[in-house]
Amino acid sequence: MDKLSNILSVMEDYAVKHGIPILSKENGKLLQEVASAIQPASVLEIGTAIGYSTLLLTATIASGGKITTIEQNTERIEIARQFLSQAGVLNQVEIIAGDAGQIVSRLAGYFDLVFIDAAKGQYLDYLHKVMDKLSPGAVVIADNVLFRGWVSDDKVPPKRFRTIVKRLRAYLDFVDSDPRFKTTIWHIGDGMAVSYYQGETKT
């Protein structure tokens, strides 16, 4: 097993042991495939957890590229730092601590790839806040968009999930109907939406 696979495997075990939600292997593979195809120079990840998807993404970025990742749980940030340092990629990653809803609007620069994997009820808010920071041809990937099957079905979800399901449906409606995006929804894991941005960036 190479060093990267070894660390990823340790992270998977850590996540299971500590009940931390990270990407499934299948969804991780799709994330890497989509990212590798565009070799982004600048990535924004919303929801770092212990840095598992961050590490997957470091293998896909252009030489000299950078990943900005946001996480509000300080304990997880510390663990992410340790794993990314062990993998020798911490210099390619900036971890910003705090609430993504506030941080995203304050970010400067443009992103070639945005990976949304934090508060499911806030996906559309994150997207609205990052729209003027998308490079032409950027891709926006959102995990868990089908949320246990409730989002695509016409079933009425249990009361405790209603707001999340309503908001995820609003996210999917937006990326499906806005002409600036071309979106594919992958029915793998908990569902992953891959949206190619075809609009102009603001100047």
Torsions phi, psi of 117, nearest 5? -155, 50
Using CB under 6 A as the binding rule, whether residue 118 contacts ligand SAM is answered as yes
Question: 134-143 and 192-197 as β-strands: parallel, antiparallel, unpaired?
Answer: antiparallel
Residue 135's H or E segment, with its range, is strand 134-143
Contact residue for ligand SAM among 34, 35, 43, 49 (CB under 6 A): 49
Using CB under 6 A as the binding rule, whether residue 195 contacts ligand SAM is answered as no
Q: Kindly state the smallest distance separating residue 177's Cβ from ligand SAM, in Å.
A: 25
Using CB under 6 A as the binding rule, whether residue 190 contacts ligand SAM is answered as no
Q: How far apart are CA 175 and CA 38, in angstroms?
A: 20
Using CB under 6 A as the binding rule, whether residue 123 contacts ligand SAM is answered as no
Q: How far apart are CA 200 and CA 12, in angstroms?
A: 38
Q: How far apart are CA 93 and CA 102, in angstroms?
A: 20
Using CB under 6 A as the binding rule, whether residue 53 contacts ligand SAM is answered as yes
Q: Which of these ranges, 44-52, 104-112, 171-179, 192-200, lies near ligand SAM under the rule CB under 6 A?
A: 44-52
Q: Which residues bind ligand SAM (CB under 6 A)?
A: 21-23, 47, 49, 52-53, 70-73, 76, 99-101, 117-119
